[in-house]
Structure 1
Amino acid sequence: MELSALILLVVFFALLMLNVPISFCIGLATLATMLLSMDLLPALTTLAQRMAGGLNSFALLAIPFFVLSGLLMGRGGIAKRLIECAMALVGALPGGLALVNVMSCMLFGAISGSAVAATSAIGSFMLPEMKKQGYDTSYSAAVTAAAATTGMLIPPSNIMIVYAIASGGVSIAALFVAGYFPGILLGIALMIVCAGYAKVKGYPTGARLPLKLVAQKVAAAIPSLFMIFLVIGGIISGAFTATEAGAIAVVYSFILAVVVYREVKVSELGNILLKSTETTAIVLALIATSAAMSWILSYENIPQTVSQGLLTLSDNPILILLLINIILLIVGAFMDMTPAVLIFTPIFLPVAVELGMSPLHFGIMMILNLSIGLVSPPVGSVLFVACAIAKVRLEQLLKPLLPMYAAMFVVLMLVTYIPAISEWLPSVFGL
């Protein structure tokens, strides 16, 4: 077991450092580990079978639907209306534009389900506006990157669908509902940091708008926000499944972007479909190779060995959960969320259950933890998108991100050790 784990890690990280695409890193590391116990042809056949089996899930059909609806929303003028809504609600508070940035990312993330899309759509509009008002560009980019992670928790979220499959039975509807409180709590924590930072730096406060204008801006965003109620309300009520909800989200976002707002032309739909296909292919390649790696981990009894090792370290649940969080924070800094969830759920979920944590609670903790990895060097994808939009270097973002990292870690600890934050709302709806 020790040799197989060593081979898996060495091959994976060696390929990662050579800048090989991560799905190939996972697949080749899995193949190398298989070759320890079987010949080449059986290993290749097993790898292909496990990759195909990993994609043989009806729930995965929701991912291309939500990807496509997110792209339609991103190009359909949704971001602009959500920003104006957020500006009307919180723009007059200390550090108004930073708070608007956070709230806009929360709202857009809740609609698109993508941290990268939220960073791109909101950042492209907010960063130039914040620069005009005297905000430091690096700080503005840091705010956008950190706030975009809330979209991983506030549903609909593709990573929750992946976790539901990896955990072997957690309800997608329950995960969707469970993400609301932690996602909102994370957004509030970031807004508190932004308000304090604004006071220290002397950033300007926006003008207070008349109540009538506030109502107009909020009303203009209602058609966009209604998708949240349509999708989540339908899932909770049992009117349709998460997969069917994805298809409904595509139809609704198409009507909104093409017919109502008229921001997307029919001639642009081909490019949008192509982009959604590319994104879906990348995600499914990660899922397929990660499923194969999960199988070889189980075949070599690595999850059981890790579980036993962790439980023999201490009988204190607080320390064990802290150690799991630290490991996942390190993993998140080097690995994309999708393979991380598929690979480490079978390893750590049995430990969490042994400690009395529900699979639902663990899932929210894991997703929040790995969301921090999206804005953590060296691999954080959201971090690089923010750098590209702001035209700043990665190291320039790290200093303004430090207090935001602290806020995100505090929220992670609250979610880890207070189960009600994740579990209360699903229990209200009987999920």
Structure 2
Amino acid sequence: MEASTLATIVLIGGFFVLMLIKVPVSFAMLLATLGSAAIYGVNLSDVVNQMIAGVKSFSLLAIPFFILMGELMAAGGISEKIVDFANLCVGRFQGGLAYVNCLDSMFFGGVSGSAVADVSSLGSVVIPMMKKAGYDDDFAVGLTVSTACQGLLIPPSHNMVIYALAAGGGVTIGALFMAGAVPGVMLGLSIMLYCFLVRKKKNFPIGERIPKERRKKIIIDAILPMMTLVIIMGGMAAGIFTATESAAIACIYTFVLTYFVFRTAKIKDISIVFKNTLKTLAIVLTLISVAKAFAFMMVILRVPDMLTTFLVSVTSNKYLLLLIINVLLLVLGCFMDMAPLLMIMTPILLPVVTSPMIGLSPVHFGIIMIYNLAIGLCTPPVGSALFVGCAVGKTPIERTSKSMLPLYGVMVIGLFLITFVPAFSMWLPSALGMI
């Protein structure tokens, strides 16, 4: 057996074997990379240099700011204010709390950019509300998990920063942010439409009207945190600052809101916020660093070329190729988290989809990838958003997953619309002159 073939088997096969025996993803990737490099004769220093290069990027500075912003919002109880505002907008109708769940995820996703933060923060508020109102436990949890996918598409999203890095610098983060806005809102509206269609069959309760005397305060309290989205998107669209600068400014704004405007958290407890931020950041950056080395070995072993040759041998039809790529990403998303998959699969698939045969924009493909892998966060066996949602709602994963089958269908339909109708993703950044 040739060294390249054996090294490829060790790299890919070894990684999945280690995953099956429950070795943490970052360690599994590192061990598989080192084993493959040793077999193929790659210097260890080259592997280490790739790991350093993976996190040596100015654009990555946006990630700690976005994570810190989410933690500040969680500490300040911002999620409760957004839930109250969503309840004011749509809570009075039959199935009102289901619509509230969708709408508050749309708002909160736009200011936190994290599906797990969405589920843990909003879920702890909305799931008990839905249970108390008479909604099925599994539906309440499943809906919360599904709507959390919006947070990965509606800017800001640190996963878009990771994709831009993995794409090799040919994609601007601002264009990705703008491209994700419409698909994210479309996903939320699609889930709301599903809730509307099944409201009578599932006998959803009718919500209560919020008293007039509370409405003004609810609106003001919600508009202030949602201005974060205006700062980020508006600043980048106007060319005032970059994604990294917008993240820093939005972080300062959130800090002021939490500790000086709302005063819902004590400044002496800010060390807990920093501690939680560093924990999350350490996981994300470790995954990015190791995944960069893993992707480097795949390029050396010509795995992208082999995959391209295989796909072309299957079919030359661009739509069928896109369907195959979507199915591949959906399957991989069930077994791995988003960050390492973005770092590994982007260098492999991007040359295929941007080739003359398919002709996708790197920005469009970025949204397709993130939407795909967001669905993976909601699916067993390793969907982190699903696990957090079930922990918050105290429901079994198996039962909740079964109740989510129609919602999976809604998300997959949305995925295919975004894949085969590029205008959903591309018109906003095009209109703003970003691509």
Q: TM-score by structure 2 length?
A: 0.96
CA distance in 2, matches of 1:353, 1:3: 30
Deviates most, 312-321 or 190-199: 190-199
Alignment of 1:151-230 (within 5 A): 151-168=151-168, 169-209=170-210, 214=215, 216-230=217-231
Please give the residue correspondences for 1:13-412 in structure 2 after superposition, counting only pairs within 5 Å: 13-38=16-41, 42-43=43-44, 45-168=45-168, 169-209=170-210, 214=215, 216-354=217-355, 355-412=358-415
The C-alpha deviation readout for 1:88-110, integer Å capped at 9, x for no partner, is 11112331111101111121111
**Offset at 1:196?**
2.5
Q: Are the equivalent residues in 1 in contact too, given 2:96–2:206 (CA < 8 A)?
A: yes
Equivalent pairs counted in the alignment come to 428
Q: Give yes or no for contact 2:173–2:243 (8 Å, CA) kept in 1.
A: yes
Amino acid at match of 1:400: S
* Matches of 1:304 and 1:87, distance apart in 2: 51
Residues 298 and 304, structure 2, Cα contact 8 Å, conserved in 1 = yes
2:348 aligned partner, one-letter code:
I
Quote the residue 1:3 is aligned against: 6
Deviation at 1:211, TM superposition (A): 7.0
**Aligned residues of 1:311 and 1:351 also touching (Cα < 8 A):** no
| Amino acid across the alignment from 2:7 | S
Amino acid at match of 2:156: P
Judge conservation of contact 1:375–1:382 (CA < 8 Å) in 2. Answer: yes
Structure 1 unmatched ranges of 5 or more: none
Tell me if the contact between 1:182 and 1:421 (Cα under 8 Å) persists in the aligned partners.
yes
Which residue in 2 is equivalent to 1:413?
Answer: 416
1:415-430 matches, cutoff 5 A: 415-430=418-433
Secondary structure in structure 2 of the residue aligned to 1:334:
coil
SS at match of 1:311: helix
Deviation sequence 1:143-181 (CA, Å, 0-9, x none): 110101100000000000001111121010000001011
> What is the alpha-carbon distance in structure 2 between the residues aligned to residue 26 and residue 193 of structure 1?
39
Cα distance in 1 between the residues matched to 2:136 and 2:13: 41
Letter in structure 1 aligned against 2:74: G
Contact 2:7–2:40 (8 Å) recurs in 1: no
Q: CA RMSD in A?
A: 1.3
Please state whether the residue corresponding to 2:241 is helix, strand or coil: coil
> Aligned partner of 2:124: which letter?
S
- CA distance, structure 1, for counterparts of residue 67 and residue 301 of structure 2: 35
Query: Is residue 191–residue 407 contact of structure 2 (8 Å, CA) maintained in 1?
Result: yes
* Counterpart amino acid of residue 410 in structure 1: I
Distance 1:165 1:236 in 2: 20
Q: CA offsets per residue over residues 1-26 of structure 1, 9 Å max, x none? A: 44333212221112112222111111
Q: Is the 8 A contact 1:384 1:394 kept in 2?
A: yes
User: Would you identify which runs of 4 or more consecutive aligned residues in structure 1 move more than 6 Å?
Assistant: none
Contact 1:96 1:206 in 2 (8 A): yes
Structure 1 counterpart of 2:149, one-letter code: T
